[in-house]
């Protein structure tokens, strides 16, 4: 179901891009984003290679992710957005983490484990009968205050409001962030860019990007010399866990696996510093 929704969203995004961005100033209520602003954001997000090795958790298909092999001591994984597979969450549970999952659209995960905890709510910017904020969800979990966490989030576009509403204190507790970001092709839309850049820069206060993997369910958007895949998986590692690092210049990572049965989509060079040498 998620893949079908993504395919529809990508087809719509390509149509809107042709209608709006290429006629910038005529259909936008605001001017399009300046190329220099997008390039600055991409530079801030350029991945680095930390001193620890990378690993893959989850299946060798959609639902599996590449992240640092730095899981020892992480108390819990919070994973909003429940799909029909829970391989990533299951591997976290088997490593001894408590795993908290939340999704209003399903009644329970398809798989069960003694360390699984499920909440039938969406994650968002407020708490009510249908939604709960990340801060409230973690506060209600009963975990030891201050313990390190892993956040894996794929919530089909609600990640932006969720990140902007999460507290800095909770972000600092998250040793590793693994998140799929949607509608990135709309960075050329100035109001959307303002939201997205603030969310990314909030994360970058405490974390560094250590991996980016484009979801190949959609084709990239190319405009003014920049190539932007609409949907991508980002992995961030907290800065205090990085003793040394260097710029990542080789993509895809050997552990990357295509999300869909479409041609492989390699991270465009404008997303990493090799393109600026």
pLDDT at 31: 83
Instruction: Looking at the structure, give the CATH architecture of the domain made up of residues 48-213+234-245.
Output: 3-Layer(aba) Sandwich (3.40)
Please report the sign of the dihedral spanned by the C-alpha atoms of residue 128, residue 133, residue 136, residue 138.
positive
Indicate the domain borders of the chain: 48-213+234-245
Nearest to 181 by CA among 226, 236, 247, 134: 236
- Taking only the tens of pLDDT, the chain with its 277 residues reads 444 444 444 544 444 454 455 554 445 466 899 999 999 999 999 999 999 999 999 999 989 999 999 999 999 999 999 977 789 999 999 999 999 999 999 999 988 999 999 999 999 999 999 999 999 999 999 999 999 999 999 998 899 999 999 999 999 999 999 999 999 999 999 999 999 999 999 999 999 999 999 999 999 999 999 999 999 999 999 999 999 999 999 999 999 999 999 999 999 999 998 644 4
Q: Is there a contact between 94 and 74 (Cβ–Cβ < 8 Å)?
A: no
pLDDT at 244: 94
Q: What is the pTM of this model?
A: 0.90
Nearest to 50 by CA among 176, 169, 172, 214: 176
* Beta strand ranges found along the chain (DSSP E): 48-50, 54-57, 65-68, 76-80, 98-102, 116-119, 122-123, 131-132, 149-153, 174-181, 207-214, 221-223, 226-228, 232-238, 245-247
Gap between the Cα atoms of 56 and 255, Å rounded? 6
pLDDT at 250: 93
Please report the sign of the dihedral spanned by the C-alpha atoms of residue 220, residue 223, residue 227, residue 232.
negative
pLDDT at 96: 97
């Amino acid at each position: 179901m998620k893949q079908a929704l993504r395919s529809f969203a990508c087809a719509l995004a390509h149509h809107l891009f042709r209608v709006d961005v290429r006629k910038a100033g005529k259909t936008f209520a605001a001017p399009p984003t300046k190329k220099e602003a997008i390039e600055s954001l991409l530079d801030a997000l350029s991945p680095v290679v930390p001193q620890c090795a990378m690993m893959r958790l989850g299946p060798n298909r959609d639902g599996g992710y590449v992240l640092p092999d730095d899981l020892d001591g992480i108390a819990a994984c919070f994973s909003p957005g429940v799909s029909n597979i829970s391989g990533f969450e299951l591997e976290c549970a088997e490593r001894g983490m408590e795993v908290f999952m939340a999704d209003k659209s399903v009644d329970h995960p398809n798989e069960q484990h003694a360390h699984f905890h499920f909440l039938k709510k969406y994650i968002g910017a407020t708490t009510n009968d249908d939604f709960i904020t990340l801060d409230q969800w973690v506060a209600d979990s009963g975990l030891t205050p201050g313990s390190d966490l892993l956040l894996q989030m794929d919530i089909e576009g609600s990640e932006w409001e969720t990140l902007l509403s999460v507290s800095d204190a909770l972000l600092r507790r998250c040793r590793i962030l693994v998140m799929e970001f949607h509608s990135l092709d709309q960075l050329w839309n100035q109001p959307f860019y303002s939201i997205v850049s603030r969310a990314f820069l909030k994360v970058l206060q405490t974390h560094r990007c250590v991996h980016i993997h484009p979801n190949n369910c959609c084709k990239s958007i190319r405009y003014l010399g920049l190539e932007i895949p609409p949907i991508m998986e980002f992995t961030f590692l907290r800065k205090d866990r990085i003793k040394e690092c260097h710029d990542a210049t080789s993509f895809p990572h050997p552990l990357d696996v295509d999300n869909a049965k479409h041609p492989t989509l390699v991270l465009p060079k404008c997303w990493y510093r090799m393109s600026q040498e």
